[in-house]
Amino acid sequence: MTHAQMIDKVLANIDKVMIGKRNIAELSVTALLAGGHVLLEDVPGVGKTMMVKALAKSIGASFKRIQFTPDLLPSDVLGVSIYNPRDMEFEFRPGPIVGNIVLADEINRTSPKTQSALLESMEESSVTVDGETLRIPQPFFVMATQNPIEYEGTYPLPEAQLDRFLFKLKMGYPDRLAEVEMLQRAEKAVPIEELESVITLEELRELQMEVAAVKVDATIKRYIVDCAAETRTNPYVYLGVSPRGSLAVMKACQAFALMRGRDYVTPDDVKYLVPFAFGHRIILKPEARYEGITAEEIIDRILTKVNVPIERIQVR
């Protein structure tokens, strides 16, 4: 079984419960393979949780869920040290963050302090409490969701924190036919419970290793950097994409190419993934907001502007 077929099995499995959201599933798996995390931004009830659950079930991983509330404390996320009277010692009890797949629900409802705790452990893949550091077992994949910021009672994530997410995705409502199909399936049973794992964690780790082997041609690297550089000089952009953003795109492209059954990245991969990877990494100037220009539009313009490499660099 090739890598692509393995990934395809996972996607097909998710498809059983998620209808008409193949692209989101693909992007989530891409992020998982690339070792990144995903921020899902959408209104409640469109299937964010279902998606993460299905993904977790498909790969046979442990699934943890943290519901963020305004009064949630960092220790509720990371874990606490408890005094064990028998051993006369403090013992660390890991919090829900220590899991393979973590759903951080409504992350913008909690205080910045708790948000930071979560995001730091996402970046480091470890938890530090009372000077004690615990590595979080791989694969570690956080899928955070947030309600659109216009909603009341939310703490918008700091821009720097957003950089920690590989993709920011929007789920969107399913289309009419997909929704009808969903209702029909729900009639029979709750399918999520019947979902079985199709690959093992071991296989997933193997796939993650394989991602690094996907070839990124020098021309493609230049293309990615060109796109990132363009965001930094764009007149509407206050803060452009960081080098971490370029790196993220490259990794995501590798994973995406692997999923597509290729061992090399094409400019199409870059063009496809850049909006998801860059969208949350640029800060627009107020003028852009006044003019109603969104980050998506700016990225779209950049992508039509930057020349796609179509020839090999002559090595002579």
**Minimum Å distance from CB 310 to other proteins?**
6
Joined together, the tokens standing for residue 99 give: 């899991």
Helix/strand/coil for 282: coil
Q: Which is nearer to other proteins, 79 or 267 (CB)?
A: 267
**Minimum Å distance from CB 254 to other proteins?**
12
Residue type, 245: G
**Minimum Å distance from CB 219 to other proteins?**
7
Q: Cα dist. 101→21, 253, 284 in Å?
A: 19, 22, 32
Q: Which is nearer to other proteins, 38 or 265 (CB)?
A: 265
**Minimum Å distance from CB 69 to other proteins?**
45
Q: Which is nearer to other proteins, 9 or 271 (CB)?
A: 271
Q: Which is nearer to other proteins, 170 or 271 (CB)?
A: 271
Residue count of the chain, please give it.
Answer: 316
**Minimum Å distance from CB 299 to other proteins?**
12
Closest to 97 in 3D by CA, of 132, 58, 144: 144
Task: Return the CA Rg of the chain.
Answer: 20
Joined together, the tokens standing for residue 22 give: 């193949």
Asked, as a colleague might, if the bond just before 139 is cis with ω within 30 of 0, I would say yes
Q: Cα dist. 134→80, 93, 97 in Å?
A: 12, 10, 11
Q: Which is nearer to other proteins, 114 or 254 (CB)?
A: 254
Where does this chain bind other proteins (CB under 8 A)?
Answer: 215, 217, 219-220, 262-268, 271, 303-312
**Minimum Å distance from CB 149 to other proteins?**
31
Helix/strand/coil for 202: helix
Q: Which is nearer to other proteins, 188 or 316 (CB)?
A: 316
- CB burial readout 72-90, b (16+ within 10 A) else e: bebebbbbbeeeeeeeeee
The side-by-side arrangement of strands in the sheet containing 101-105 is 63-67, 101-105, 141-146, 38-41, 167-169
The one-character DSSP state at 94 is E
Helix/strand/coil for 70: coil
**Minimum Å distance from CB 214 to other proteins?**
9
Q: Which is nearer to other proteins, 135 or 215 (CB)?
A: 215
Q: Which is nearer to other proteins, 185 or 271 (CB)?
A: 271
**Minimum Å distance from CB 271 to other proteins?**
6
